[in-house]
Structure 1
Amino acid sequence: MVSTRQWVLAKKPTHLPIFDGPDVTFKLVDQHLPELQDGQVLVKVTHLSNDPAQRGWISPDIKPERLYIAPVEVNQVMASGGLAEVVESKSRSFKKGDAVTGFVGWNDLAILSDKAVQPAFPILGGKKPQTLHLGAFGLTGLTAYVGLLDVGQVTKDDVLVISGAAGATGSMAVQIAKKIVGVKRVVGIAGTDAKCRWVESLGADVCLNYKSSSFADDLIAATPDYATAYFDNVGGEILDLMITRLGRGGRIIACGAIADYNSVRSKTSGVKNWFEIIAMRLSVHGFVVLDFLAKAPEATKVLLRALEEGKLIVDGGEQVVEAKFEDVPKTWVTLFQGTTLWNGTVGVMKP
């Protein structure tokens, strides 16, 4: 009988996850796995994707019917995307040794349906790391692609502002907008001067440090004739400010809200400039990438071609952090603590 280690949800946190005392958020357990059935694979998890959106999946104050996926309940394995290797197969689609991606959870070993995983093909003939399947060539890249092209209908004539531009989705959005779509002006927003210079190296015309005391004035200077579209990854006060910098008919592509992920919903920062949405005839379009999975082949083809043509920078665009399996939750939570650990685009754990 095969056993695995799992991190399960012990108690839903109201703020940052807790790791000590009686109210710990996660607990590590050993679990026997059932016999492998036809159409299933046993996989060894090699890398875990660290995503801010995971925080919403364990929130106690979001009703299941208001969440885009089933929430993680107490005593369930913490959900996570990941990269894995097939160690045993009863599937016609995969054999032992195959690399796959999918929602593997915080497991050491896991049994998954062969329809729940996808092959992790070699990128540029194996010249690029397979972990890019958790970023540029995974849901991250797809999110940026469909957010810009399908949701925002962004064109070369737009003036586009992207918050969280040094983050996973934001940095891909910068490159897709500037180097693939050819948007005439791309303004990035990030949290340090160093991150801003990196965002500019990806193609942004300018990047602004939102922690600067002059940020509001800098944003006005960067959008003198107002922006036409805003790709929002953070929500909060930056969203509220950006509403005042969109011209008539401007579009808000609502992708994420990391500014409020660890706040009690009743205490999150509300939109104060709502009348601007009315006066300027703005549109706000929220989206979830899971609604666009059918676009993945198209996006992958376009992004691979851009990589081959030198239009897409993926080197340095992810940070793989080696962590003991016992430290998976503590490593994940650094996403929200403002550390330099995730000073790249995609946080990937190698447990």
Structure 2
Amino acid sequence: MSRVPKEAKTFVLNKSPVTAVNLNLGEEKSTFKLINKPIRDLRDDEVLVKTLYLSNDPTQRAWIQKGLNAERMYVDPVLEGQAMKSSGLGRVVASKLPGYNVGDVISCALSWQDYSIVKKVSVYNKIPQTDLPMTMFLDVLGMTGLTAYFGLLQVAQLKKTDTIVISAASGATGSMCVQIAKKVIGCKRVIGISGGAEKCRYVESIGADVCVDYKDPKFEKNMKQALGEEKYCDVFFDGVGGRILDTMLQLVKPFGQVIACGAIAGYNDFRKSFVSGWGQIITNRLTVKGFIILDFQDQYEQGVKDIAKWIQEGKIKVDNSSFTLVDLSHEGDFRKIPETWGILFSDKKGPGKLLTKL
């Protein structure tokens, strides 16, 4: 019989940030605060889960920005005093949701809590009994893999004849884009953008023809060299925005596409998201498409099946080098959840997905 707790350790938003977050705890202007929150009784179509893994995603930064217009958000923002939201994996410890039993592991919307009440609408799927590592269902078989899958196949409608440039190419979504573009679709040329020689080597090891270091002072010159005689790319898949987007707007061919799934450059400082090359969109008749993975929720099952098949065929690399796991399952480590999430916005982040184990 699973123990049903009376309260949950919970991180709530203490002060909505304007620029950089303050990850220190116990200060007046700390972004987050750790509290104990009573757990109410379950209602119909709800489950109580023990958090196993948390997904760390740049988009969470946008949810806590001070002064947000909720009407322009695709999910409700996190307000001061509310529990910080995430997605993750949890084990059911109590259920009033038909079809979900104690012991089941589910992928769902969670909070930064050791125990969370999850409504039916926030349950993505039940994790099947499988020999695959559970973490894969937050990574290549989760939102990360599906963002790359739908972004390339349906939003960009990428073709073999295309040259594609992918920013944040060593990151969770970018690294999947590289592999799908090169090894599944078979694009003519796949160029990654990442920060530092080590990350660029990783991007090339998973299939990119070349990876260009945005930290190099000669970034623009090096990108033009990578594009070669063609001079321009057909598609730019962007999760960064800002200076990198500004550079690439000049290097997308006339009538080409920019696919936007993120803008991490400006999440902690909106001034770094400014783009001065908007005129390129007009003069070169570029198509700019933004998308959110939730747009394709009714197609997740097919996407997971296809990605699993590509893994079996060896087209998608899955090993300990393709994600970063921070283990906070030891006594007292729960306090490090915000600090771990903050790695996303630092040079400490390794390749692939950043996950937290509780």
TM-score, normalisation: structure 1: 0.95
Are positions 1:350 and 2:354 aligned together?
no
Q: Which amino acid aligns with 1:85?
A: R
What residue number does 1:120 align with? 127
Kept after mapping to 2: 8 A contact 1:233/1:255:
yes
The gaps in structure 2 that reach 5 residues or longer are none
- 1:96 Cα shift? 1.2
> Is structure 2 residue 327 aligned with structure 1 residue 322?
yes
Within a 5 Å distance, the mapping from 1:178-217 to structure 2 comes to 178-217=182-221
Separation in structure 2 between the aligned mates of residue 159 and residue 231 of structure 1, nearest angstrom? 11
Q: State the 1:270 CA deviation.
A: 2.1
Within 5 Å, give how 1:1-351 maps onto structure 2.
Answer: 2-18=6-22, 19=24, 21-117=27-123, 118-122=125-129, 125-126=130-131, 128-224=132-228, 225=230, 226-263=232-269, 265=270, 267-315=271-319, 316-323=321-328, 324-339=333-348, 342-351=349-358
- Alignment partners' CA distance in 1, 2:15 and 2:339: 15
| C-alpha contact 2:165 2:235 (8 A) present in aligned 1 | yes
Q: CA deviation at 1:213?
A: 2.1
Do the aligned residues in 2 keep the contact of 1:50 with 1:80 (CA within 8 Å)?
Answer: yes
Task: Judge conservation of contact 2:89–2:106 (CA < 8 Å) in 1.
Answer: yes
Letter in 2 for 1:116: S
2:257 aligns to what SS in structure 1?
A: strand
**Runs of 4+ residues over 6 Å off in structure 1:** none
Judge conservation of contact 1:93–1:114 (CA < 8 Å) in 2.
no
Distance 2:62 2:44 in 1: 33
SS at match of 1:295: helix
Whether the 8 Å CA contact 1:94–1:114 is kept in 2: the answer is no
- Deviation string 1:220-271 (CA, Å, 9 cap, x unpaired) is 01113110000001001010000111111110001111110001x3x34422
Provide the rounded CA distance (Å) in 1 between the counterparts of 2:334 and 2:240: 29
Q: Check conservation: 2:108, 2:118, Cα contact below 8 A.
A: no
Secondary structure of 2:307's counterpart equals: helix
Mapped contact 2:243–2:272 kept (Cα < 8 A): no
SS in structure 1 at match of 2:85? coil
CA distance in 1, matches of 2:315, 2:273: 37
- The CA distance in 2 between the partners of 1:195 and 1:337, in whole Å, is 14
Distance in 2, Cα, partners of 1:23 & 1:58: 14
Structure 1 spans left out of the alignment, 5+ residues: none
Q: Indicate the SS of the match to 2:111.
A: coil
Q: Distance in 1 between matches of 2:207 and 2:259?
A: 20
Task: For residue 174 of structure 1, give the secondary structure of its aligned residue in structure 2.
Answer: helix
In 2, Cα distance between the equivalents of 1:87 and 1:318? Answer: 28
Looking at structure 2, the residues matched to 270 and 349 of structure 1 have their Cα atoms a distance apart, in angstroms, of: 32
Q: 1:62, 1:39 → 2: CA distance?
A: 31
Q: CA deviation at 1:92?
A: 2.2
Deviations 1:48-88 (A, max 9, x none): 10111100000013211121110001111001001111112
Q: State the Cα distance separating 1:116 from its structure 2 match.
A: 2.1
Report the TM-score when normalising by structure 2. 0.93
Amino acid at match of 1:297: E
3-state DSSP class of the match of 2:30?
Answer: coil
Deviation string 1:89-116 (CA, Å, 9 cap, x unpaired) is 2222111111111111101111112442
Distance in 2, matches of 1:38 and 1:245, equals 54
RMSD: 1.3
